[in-house]
Structure 1
Amino acid sequence: MTSRFATAEVAWAGSADPAAPLVVLLHGRGADEHSILMMADHLPDGPAYAAVRAPIAEGGGYAWFANRGIGRPVAESLADTMAWFRDWLDEVAPQGRTVVLVGFSGGAAFAGGLVLADPERFRGAAILYGTLPFDAGVPVTPGRLQGVSAFVAQGDQDAVIPRELLDRTWDYVTGDSGALARTRRDPGGHGITPETAAELSDWVGSLVADA
């Protein structure tokens, strides 16, 4: 597929084995791949870690989609960037390789879009301090994530993502989605705590242990 976006910029850590489980790290809006690559230091040994730079330049960093409001992707933009991402993923992780998505903030919405659009492609998705992309062209229907592992972490005092979207995400993942849900609430705001990082590491480890 021809894309209007540039070739993906990726920072790598962990295993160089092309058959190793692949954990894709998706940064927040206005950041870049290096800002989230450090997460790999807190995650299990064994997988390959790929921190991908979002394709849309924004605010000195990069974004995964055009917004119509915080946490509310423009459907056409999200479809375009997800197609671009899948082209990259199909090259580095042919069908059969275990793939886990870990997204923070805007990257969480992008990870959510990817797994909702193609739930069989991914072993699991972590939605960290962000929202699923509701009303953005991807199906958010009962049973859509049946059997898919999902880790949702939120801050009780998060003032970045609208509370309505955080609550809707929590309720859908733990309810109608059918996902194998693991959740964590922090008393803080919009940032990954050491406790969440430790629980995320345990969750990732459980997904890649038998891969």
Structure 2
Amino acid sequence: MAEPVEIDRAAVRRARHGEPLPLLVLLHGYGSDERDLFSLVPFLPEGVAVASLPAPHDAPWPMPGRSWYPIDELERRDPASVTAAADAVLRWLDEEAGAVPSIALLGFSQGASVALQVARQDPDRIAAVVNLSGYAAPGELPGDTALRERRTPVFWGRGTRDDVIPPALVDHTAQWLPDHSELTGRVYPGLTHSVSEDELADVRRFLDGWLAEVQASSSREPAEG
């Protein structure tokens, strides 16, 4: 079992917060930090609060930035380190996101695997997941059955020239996601381990769908009184 880790709450970057808006949580990739994905805010839908979290570990020298879990555990069948990072995100949500009407996660690479792991740990809490150039961690979790039944919407985008994620993990994810989620997937010709404008446009449409469902659910709720 991996040791518990924590999110540095003082380092979290936020946008459009201060009222009970749906919350989109950004989880950066290996060797980056909370400032990286925060630059995507102008491309995200209006009417959503955004929080960009820092990973709990320093990336090993000489790599800059931070890490959600040791990079050498990428293909381990034991998901303990990914789960420890996901648990840290869930504890942050417990303290910081108790009143929001809906939560979605957007992760890149390592952060995408953590985003999926959060949804696997607490399927009822996470309404949608965006997986950019990422993967589903191998191994079984107790929440996987509930996630399969819930069919959480997941967007998975990756490039044909992405040589960072091992092919075995790509193959595993290509089998795992359709079985455990309502998958929207797209492969971008020529894209490396990065994000393109076309992909951002697709992400925007996916998140617009999430927000439309939040609004529809709100309108279906019975009035108090």
Between the aligned partners of 2:113 and 2:90, the Cα distance in structure 1 is: 16
Task: Give the distance between the partners of 1:75 and 1:172, measured in 2 at CA.
Answer: 15
In the alignment of these two chains, the number of paired residues is 205
Amino acid at match of 2:198: E
Aligned to 1:123: 127
- RMSD after superposition: 2.2
Match of 1:38? 39
Task: Name 2:92's counterpart in structure 1.
Answer: 88
SS in 2 for 1:50: strand
Q: Name the structure with the higher helix share.
A: 2
CA offset at residue 37 of structure 1? 0.4
- Identify the residue that residue 55 of structure 1 maps to in structure 2: 56
* Number of the residue aligned with 1:159: 163
The TM-score with structure 1 as length reference comes to: 0.88
Would the alpha carbon gap of residues 140 and 117 (structure 1) be closer, same or farther in structure 2, given more than 3 Å must change?
closer
1:142-157 equivalences under 5 Å are 144-145=147-148, 146-157=150-161
| Alpha-carbon distance in 1 for matches of 2:97, 2:50 | 12
Q: Are the structure 2 counterparts of residues 28 and 98 from structure 1 closer, same or farther at C-alpha, using a change threshold of 3 Å?
A: same
5+ residue gaps, structure 2: 216-225
Q: How far, CA to CA, are the matches of 1:156 and 1:73 in structure 2? A: 25
Give the drift of 1:181: 1.2
What SS does structure 1 have at the residue aligned with 2:151? coil
Ranges in structure 1 where 5+ consecutive residues have no aligned partner: none
**Aligned amino acid, residue 91 of structure 1:** E
1:160-194 alpha-carbon deviations (Å, 9 max, x no partner): 001221122122212x21x2211111012211110
**2 CA distance for matches of 1:169 and 1:46?**
31
Q: Which residue of 1 aligns with 2:22?
A: 21
Cα shift at 1:206: 1.1
Deviations 1:72-104 (A, max 9, x none): 486333333222221111122116620000000
- 1:143 Cα deviation from its structure 2 partner: 6.5
Residues 155, 189 of structure 1: 8 Å contact kept: yes
Q: Deviations over 1:90-129 (max 9, x none)?
A: 1221166200000000101110111111111100111110
- Select which of 200, 212, 221 maps to 1:197: 200
Larger Rg: 2
Q: Deviations over 1:121-168 (max 9, x none)?
A: 100111110111112x63585663332111011111210001221122
The 1:66/1:10 distance shift into structure 2, 3 A limit, reads same
Change (3 A) 1:192 1:139: farther
Q: Cα gap change, 1:140/1:167 in structure 2, threshold over 3 Å: closer, same or farther? A: farther
